[in-house]
Structure 1
């Protein structure tokens, strides 16, 4: 019996080996056949590069290194194209805004020109390409065109140019439309690689569109436009449909825009998913659609090898995210171009602030948290404290003898774009941390503005942080001068239990509901505060006011300026940080970040008590309304139960009397 079993096992083993060898051979043959007949393609991709033309400090495995840089990226791309000469190279938007190179975005368009030199085939716009408004993007496109450089194809399918009642465009929209035509910006383009016709189109998602409030254009429904373009591409008989989607993915599939896109437009073969800075270690497979993403800031080059199956759809056979770090040599040609643009940034931008690009402003003895940690953790943070303190310091410095005390400064986490690491902090680092936007002076960088809020509204600001930021992480607020305690277990919009002002001398002052308090914020942040009422369905209200208590209708009129040598200039957010860093006590002539910013200081205190008194005490107006409604509902229930019981008793008595008769 044992001998028979052994023979059976031997036969089974032999059959398994033969089968395995046969399957492997068939699989390899299939791949070989696919390659020989032109049915294989490699897609190289990036997204959310955010102007990281130069490497920047980064933390990996607890060690400070550097990532990014277009010269390194070019080396990684060359290594791939040596193996796959017919690879398609694409970018899914937000290639600009995030480092000082953005300051020459409009005048020189360094991003598009270098991407063209590297060999990008197709790119699309993200919301940040509209940061300098329609006119800024128009100038950037025209600059790129005028350079006569080889540029990537640009695709964007859901941009609309709204006209007024007479059918006319504003001058800036008209300029952008002309620039679109000059650079041949289309809904889609068709590129042939390795004998395969690839239809690529660009898309701006809903969340991304909401982050471009000053774009002036309208972004039409992304799903409807994707369906429209896909039909056109099918009529063009393309072999593969590629969507450069600046929409993103989220943990919850139902809210994940690109997963919804894949479900509603299943004809799309591949979605390069940008905007949310997601790093997908494996593609998301949604039906026959592949969704891929490789983080932000030029940290990775994505590579996707596909083979075509018998049903015409595409199957991945390789998916890599290659880290762009010190392990890659810099391409000297691209490095030279970047250096030339760096010199332009110095002359065009930093010279006006009397700073050098690499000038050391201060030295930090410790690392601050990175952006992802800031977004994911709802708590007080030293970097947020430093930035908000910098705002108050800069206003006092700029206003001098005319300074009016600032009661509070507010910094939303969504406006913080970088962090500081242990060691030197340069002017470029300070800019990168608060790099968003442009001022009324048309100079890059959002300016600080002064607004007035009532004490009640200051408490509402605290409630926005406590109640809304757990649902919308970008809404988390960091504050200087304003401190509060909240309980996350309490009812929404009633989580704050205490709020007070911390004066510069360290004393604590109670907040009076009807009194006006001076608050300093960035221009964009102030505009966002004013829409809190809409976002909370009218339950919360913040109306930024002038010093005399009138609602602000023109936020740019509230910009804080510095007057020096007869010239008045805006105070930029990043400039405030630079000034504050330079103000710290020096050692050997170099400012040192104080130990104070190594940890929190009870500006935002979480009380997780589940005691019934802690959960229900100190109700605000919203809570009182809810409690009142609940009490009324309970009383109504008691009343109805009493009435029904009384009615039932009377009815029973009548039946009993009828039986006795």
Structure 2
């Protein structure tokens, strides 16, 4: 018996030592290896970036061909992570919209649906619609959805809850139903531990924001406020879907931690994660708003976002267990299958689109001895830029070529920063590179690429356009203008909408002429930018006034009637204007290596410089300021004199003075 007791004691001691060597159990609120952990692989605003692009400062970034490799690696790592269960971590792969419009691959958008087919091939579970999915209008989107469905390939689910066709648009509804577009979907993943069920249920829904709607003026869709739609969908999910997580793919955006998605998270309870697209933002850490995490990973497939979430605490609030932004760069090898898919679509682009222009995908148009401004810096500075100047000059060149002997001189060509989508690095510039710079939209002919339009503005309206550049750009960088044929100077320290201090017309020989307020000037820009000119009145609360007109001075209500065509009757596209101008030079002119003084920032705090040539806005502010100063002085005087009267009366009373009481 003594020996048995001794042996039992030894066994007990060994067991205690073994227990002591084990790690302590994780507390319920510890954000690691929770039973319901979920990894979300996400992107947004990929914009048809099938292939890598030159990176700022050297190297390369992006491309579906490399993104596909990273997705496979992340899924394999999650499956091997058995600390989360026998099946590893649960993984879903999501995209936040604007998967199209940004490269030559978009030219077969409506016929081949390369974007959705590529997302399907890379294993994406769900995506949503961004504003650029409507660049070819509702009919183009319908054709694309039908083409994707007809491919017979694996495709991602498509969710959209607040931006849908009107009931009268039967063609669109038929295409949406053919593809299977829904408000939300529920994904199931095996290996769920900790509850009776053996699956993790993840509900995913999609919305599109106010600004994105305004950026799709020809979509034809009906818009429901995102908070209203989100409340409805979240309530339905909570009532019917028994989801463990609710994720929103929102093409609305965040900027510096604020924005429409920030407001959505404040307004609607029950959303665990918002994948925030549209503003091309990058969140280095998730933004927590109440019980919602907001994440963004940047545009053009620069990064793959990786977010692992779980539950903790007595209320089961969502927690961030891991968050990474994985660079998609030259260190990542191409995925062979995705590279083969890209090659097939390149051939289709050559045959069906570029052959009509006598060009090919990789054809070298020109050689640049220098780097142009990287596109990432456009939103960071308010100044003239050589790339913008090159594009504006190309518009004039293209109109001259198209009109030939009938050419009517272009007084002002202009491109807005918001439509410039890429830049040029030192070295060869190909057809693909040129297209990427001006890749947006479609024309009245339904073919890819915004065309050039010709409108007329008075000299007074041109001055207001310059004021938009000077005053609105700090608030809305996409509104910055790059000119040809005009020059202006501005003082950024002056009153808003009164910052421009001088302007003039620049003639082809370099001489300058003052603008005449009532004279009509010919203006050439892209179709989208032309349409936005008319929006200046509302955006400036009527302070600025720009009304595009025809050559007779009559207001334009149909911009497509003013598209510029060449001798063959084809629309002159923005991208082809740039491509043909580059091709005409062979080697990019050295004058585009630096600014030329087309617009000049002249900051000054000199009172004379701040107040000379005031408009009614400055005068009104000065009058208000003067009134405030007069009021303050008056109040100060009253207080001071009241004090003196009180002291005087006190002295009189103290000396025996008695008031007369008659």
Q: CA–CA distance in 2 between the matches of 1:641 and 1:316?
A: 57
1:270 maps to what in 2? 273
SS for the counterpart of 1:241 is strand
2:193 maps to what in 1? none
Counterparts in 2 of 1:31 and 1:395: CA distance versus 1, 3 Å: same
SS for the counterpart of 2:570 is strand
- C-alpha contact (below 8 Å) 1:34/1:308 kept by paired residues: no
Counterparts in 2 of 1:203 and 1:184: CA distance versus 1, 3 Å: same
Out of 172, 179, 186, which is 1:183 matched to? Answer: 179
The alpha carbon displacement at 1:287 in A equals 2.6
SS for the counterpart of 2:566 is strand
2:246 maps to what in 1? 241
1:78 maps to what in 2? 72
Out of 300, 305, 312, which is 1:297 matched to? Answer: 300
1:284 maps to what in 2? 287
For residues 136-285 of structure 1, what are the structure 2 equivalents within 5 Å? 136-162=140-166, 169=168, 173-194=169-190, 195-235=199-239, 236-251=241-256, 253=257, 255-285=258-288
Counterparts in 2 of 1:77 and 1:633: CA distance versus 1, 3 Å: closer
Q: CA–CA distance in 1 between the matches of 2:321 and 2:24?
A: 16
Counterparts in 2 of 1:579 and 1:30: CA distance versus 1, 3 Å: same
- C-alpha contact (below 8 Å) 2:29/2:311 kept by paired residues: no
Counterparts in 2 of 1:434 and 1:642: CA distance versus 1, 3 Å: same
For residues 247-646 of structure 1, what are the structure 2 equivalents within 5 Å? 247-251=252-256, 253=257, 255-311=258-314, 312-563=316-567, 567-584=568-585, 591-624=586-619, 626-627=621-622
Counterparts in 2 of 1:287 and 1:30: CA distance versus 1, 3 Å: closer
Greater mean deviation of Cα atoms: 142-151 or 66-75: 66-75
Q: CA–CA distance in 1 between the matches of 2:255 and 2:628?
A: 38
Q: CA–CA distance in 2 between the matches of 1:623 and 1:50?
A: 43
Q: CA–CA distance in 2 between the matches of 1:640 and 1:81?
A: 72
Out of 41, 44, 50, which is 2:38 matched to? Answer: 41
- C-alpha contact (below 8 Å) 2:102/2:439 kept by paired residues: yes
Greater mean deviation of Cα atoms: 258-267 or 394-403: 258-267
Out of 77, 88, 94, which is 2:92 matched to? Answer: 88
Q: CA–CA distance in 1 between the matches of 2:22 and 2:490?
A: 62
2:54 maps to what in 1? 57
- C-alpha contact (below 8 Å) 1:31/1:307 kept by paired residues: no
Counterparts in 2 of 1:304 and 1:403: CA distance versus 1, 3 Å: same
SS for the counterpart of 2:361 is coil
The alpha carbon displacement at 1:324 in A equals 1.4
Q: Which runs of 5+ in 2 are unaligned?
A: 1-16, 80-89, 191-198, 641-647, 649-656
- C-alpha contact (below 8 Å) 2:29/2:312 kept by paired residues: no
- C-alpha contact (below 8 Å) 1:449/1:523 kept by paired residues: yes
Q: Which structure has the bigger radius of gyration?
A: 2
Which string of whole-angstrom CA distances, capped at 9 and with x for unpartnered residues, describes residues 557-601 of structure 1? 1111110xxx211110111111111122xxxxxx11122111111
Q: CA–CA distance in 1 between the matches of 2:380 and 2:148?
A: 38
- TM-score norm. by structure 2 comes to 0.88
SS for the counterpart of 2:24 is helix
Q: CA–CA distance in 1 between the matches of 2:268 and 2:338?
A: 38
- C-alpha contact (below 8 Å) 2:411/2:522 kept by paired residues: yes
Which string of whole-angstrom CA distances, capped at 9 and with x for unpartnered residues, describes residues 401-422 of structure 1? 1111111111110010111111
Q: Which runs of 5+ in 1 are unaligned?
A: 1-17, 164-168, 585-590, 646-651
SS for the counterpart of 1:562 is coil
- C-alpha contact (below 8 Å) 1:245/1:271 kept by paired residues: yes
Q: CA–CA distance in 2 between the matches of 1:518 and 1:481?
A: 10
- C-alpha contact (below 8 Å) 1:439/1:445 kept by paired residues: yes
- C-alpha contact (below 8 Å) 1:160/1:217 kept by paired residues: yes
SS for the counterpart of 2:180 is coil
SS for the counterpart of 2:600 is strand
Counterparts in 2 of 1:621 and 1:548: CA distance versus 1, 3 Å: farther
2:138 maps to what in 1? 134
- C-alpha contact (below 8 Å) 1:270/1:291 kept by paired residues: yes
The alpha carbon displacement at 1:162 in A equals 3.3
Q: CA–CA distance in 2 between the matches of 1:76 and 1:559?
A: 43
Q: CA–CA distance in 1 between the matches of 2:155 and 2:599?
A: 48
Counterparts in 2 of 1:39 and 1:453: CA distance versus 1, 3 Å: same
Q: CA–CA distance in 2 between the matches of 1:263 and 1:58?
A: 36
Q: CA–CA distance in 2 between the matches of 1:185 and 1:318?
A: 31
Which string of whole-angstrom CA distances, capped at 9 and with x for unpartnered residues, describes residues 141-195 of structure 1? 00001111111111111124335xxxxx1xxx32111111111111110011132
2:24 maps to what in 1? 25
SS for the counterpart of 2:583 is helix
The alpha carbon displacement at 1:432 in A equals 0.6
Q: How many residues align?
A: 617
Q: CA–CA distance in 2 between the matches of 1:33 and 1:449?
A: 57
Q: CA–CA distance in 1 between the matches of 2:631 and 2:31?
A: 76
- C-alpha contact (below 8 Å) 2:31/2:311 kept by paired residues: no
The alpha carbon displacement at 1:94 in A equals 0.6
The alpha carbon displacement at 1:126 in A equals 0.8
- TM-score norm. by structure 1 comes to 0.88
- C-alpha contact (below 8 Å) 2:369/2:426 kept by paired residues: yes
Q: CA–CA distance in 1 between the matches of 2:515 and 2:661?
A: 73
Q: CA–CA distance in 1 between the matches of 2:21 and 2:418?
A: 55
